[in-house]
Amino acid sequence: MKRQDIHNIGRRTPAWLVGVATLGFMLGGLSDGQAGSALPAAINGQTLPTLADILEPVIPAVVNIATTTRIQVPDNPLLSDPFFRQFFHFPNQPGRAREQKSLGTGVVVDAQKGIILTNQHVIDKADQITVTLRDGRSIQARRIGVDVATDIAVIQVQAKNLKDLPLGDSDALRVGDFVVAIGNPFGLGQTVTSGIVSALGRKGLGLKGYEDFIQTDASINPGNSGGALVNLRGELIGINTAILARGGGTVGIGFAIPVNMARRIMEQLLQYGEVRRGVLGIQSQDLTAELAEAFALSVKEGAVIALVVPGSPAEKAGLQRGDVIIQANGHPIHGMADLHNTVGLARTGERIDLDLIRDGAVKRVKVVIAEPEREQMQGEQIDSRLQGALLEITENAESENAESAKAKKIEGIHVVSVEPDSVAWAIKLRADDRILSVNRKVVTSFRDLKAILQRVKNKLLINIRRGNENLFILVR
């Protein structure tokens, strides 16, 4: 499954009106402190229940985001081919400028400082970001930072009389809770849709590196990306990010990033301008029923440590192969994806308390997340066919698949970025790819990569990992 463009998944039936009426009756007796604003309890012959009282103070905090991206289009189509330019020694030429525009949504979370949360893909590569408020004001925004791995971005505006949205607790959500999605679909202006929480902790969708999505049937439409998913207390509990729309059809499945995850990413972006992820130094796998039986365990869920990297924080803390991690900082670990998220969202230097089972006994181990070792090099320093790519070798931070990484600390070479008008782009390398092998020879260092490329001057078969998929690139 891969990210789809956000499509209209709206649907409404008379049954929903019955549900709202029932909800109004249930909440009618609650105090303002419990429900934000009580809904009318009377139904027959009386005013129908409404969410308006809850939404009126919320809607001004949800803003429209318009982006402009300037791209260069060569006057001669042949000049767009980097191989042609390189062969005939044509210099890079700017060509004609063209603007691309897009729309999205954001949520004001700090009115005093003008801090706005949105999706990374909403402002990706934007040269200009314009925020339009509910009252019609349009303000230029400054990019604070983005995190591709979680699809979270933070921008800032300088404006008075902003309204912000209080942050809720996404860990307290339950399947069946009523939620409201607010966004700017199709550029029509703010639109509100409603539904319930359909599922929690959705992972393995192949959308981003760290996944723990809230699934909802509230309609999420084009332009809703970065918008608010709120509860009936008027609190932000998620950032709308994607829908499932196979074959272009409507299936009523939308996904939002939990606000607790977004909050942790936002804090790092505000402090550092980037997310500083560390490493624990293990590789793990899901605890299956067969493994639980083999280990003689009564628990049915957890992450089994399959490898402890020598010299890593995990080894220093005393973690061992075969340990089954069942909790991290008091939160249950259902499998390796939960552990991957926990470590990936932790700051470098942060301490994590792990509860694990070893030899039938429950133990608590305290481990400090360490900063990974990094080494970077420009692609053209290795080979001209990699011109325009920034490459990096990073200590592998918690592979989700213990079998794929075997016993190596380094798993391939990470492509940090690729210039759009470059040779590396032309051979279809992209940012966040991981080069695993070239001509079927595994590469774990710049020396390995350079040696292979120097020997082979014609055909190259590059095996890369892109997201959760492995694929080959043929370079002639």
Residue among 37, 194, 198, 225 flagged as catalytic: 225
Domain boundaries, the chain: 1-274, 282-368, 374-475
Which amino acid type is present at position 412? G
Q: What is the mean pLDDT of residues 236-257?
A: 75
| Backbone dihedral angles phi then psi of residue 194, each to the nearest 5 degrees | -130, 160
What's the CATH number for 1-274?
Answer: 2.40.10.120
Does domain 282-368 fall under CATH 3.40.50.150? My reply is no
pLDDT exceeds 50 at position 440: yes
Tens of pLDDT along 331-378?
889 888 888 888 888 888 889 999 999 988 899 999 998 887 778 899
The pLDDT value recorded for residue 75 is 55
Q: What is the mean pLDDT of residues 112-129?
A: 89
pLDDT exceeds 90 at position 100: no
Greatest C-alpha distance within the chain:
84
Tens of pLDDT along 207-230?
566 788 899 988 887 778 889 999
- For 7, the enclosing helix (H) or strand (E) is none
* Best CATH choice for the domain 374-475 from the list 3.30.1330.40, 2.130.10.10, 2.30.42.10, 3.40.50.720: 2.30.42.10
Tens of pLDDT along 401-413?
433 333 334 578 9
Mean of the per-residue pLDDT values of the chain: 79
Write the CB contacts of 83 (distance below 8 Å, at least 6 apart in sequence).
423, 426
Map tokens 């990073």 to a residue: 394
Assess whether 7 carries a catalytic annotation. Answer: no
Show the CA angle centred on residue 263, arms to residues 258 and 267, nearest 5°. Answer: 155
> Positive or negative CA dihedral for 238, 240, 241, 245?
positive
Single out the residue of 142, 157, 129, 165 nearest to residue 259, CA to CA. 165
Tens of pLDDT along 193-212?
889 999 998 876 665 667 88
Calculate Rg over the CA atoms of the chain: 25
**Model pTM above 0.85:** no
Answer whether 1-274 and 374-475 agree in fold: no
Rounded CA gap, 378 and 81, in Å? 20
The pLDDT value recorded for residue 88 is 52
Residue among 7, 121, 340, 414 flagged as catalytic: 121
The pLDDT value recorded for residue 430 is 86
| Backbone dihedral angles phi then psi of residue 57, each to the nearest 5 degrees | -80, -15
Paired tokens of 432: 């966040």
Paired tokens of 64: 């429209």
Assess whether 334 carries a catalytic annotation. Answer: no
The pLDDT value recorded for residue 458 is 77
The two beta strands, 324-328 and 128-132, are unpaired
3-class DSSP assignment, residue 22? helix
Paired tokens of 241: 């990010």
Paired tokens of 46: 């009386």
Assess whether 121 carries a catalytic annotation. Answer: yes
Write the CB contacts of 451 (distance below 8 Å, at least 6 apart in sequence).
none
Secondary structure letter of residue 85 according to DSSP: H
Single out the residue of 22, 51, 436 nearest to residue 232, CA to CA. 51
pLDDT exceeds 90 at position 237: yes
Rounded CA gap, 461 and 467, in Å? 19
Tens of pLDDT along 162-180?
999 999 999 899 999 999 9
pLDDT exceeds 50 at position 23: no
The pLDDT value recorded for residue 19 is 38
Paired tokens of 376: 């970077």
- For 100, the enclosing helix (H) or strand (E) is strand 96-110
- For 315, the enclosing helix (H) or strand (E) is helix 313-317
| Backbone dihedral angles phi then psi of residue 442, each to the nearest 5 degrees | -65, 135
Q: Between the CA of residue 287 and those of 175, 227, 253, 309, what are the distances in Å?
A: 24, 36, 28, 20
What pairs with residue 32 in β-bridges? none
The pLDDT value recorded for residue 296 is 86
Rounded CA gap, 72 and 419, in Å? 12
Half-sphere exposure of 68 (CA within 13 A, CB side): 9
Residue among 7, 147, 151, 383 flagged as catalytic: 151
pLDDT exceeds 90 at position 110: yes
Tens of pLDDT along 281-295?
888 898 988 888 888
Q: How confident is the model at residue 90 (pLDDT cuts 50, 70, 90)?
A: low
Compute, in degrees rounded to 10, the torsion defined by CA atoms 259, 149, 147, 161.
-30
The pLDDT value recorded for residue 162 is 92
Paired tokens of 420: 């759009």
The pLDDT value recorded for residue 336 is 87
Per-position DSSP letters for 366-405, written without gaps between them = EEE-BPPPEEEEEGGGT-GGGTTEEEEEE-----S-HHHH
Q: Between the CA of residue 96 and those of 68, 78, 86, 420, 426, what are the distances in Å?
A: 16, 14, 20, 15, 20
What pairs with residue 14 in β-bridges? none
3-class DSSP assignment, residue 105? strand
Which amino acid type is present at position 470? N
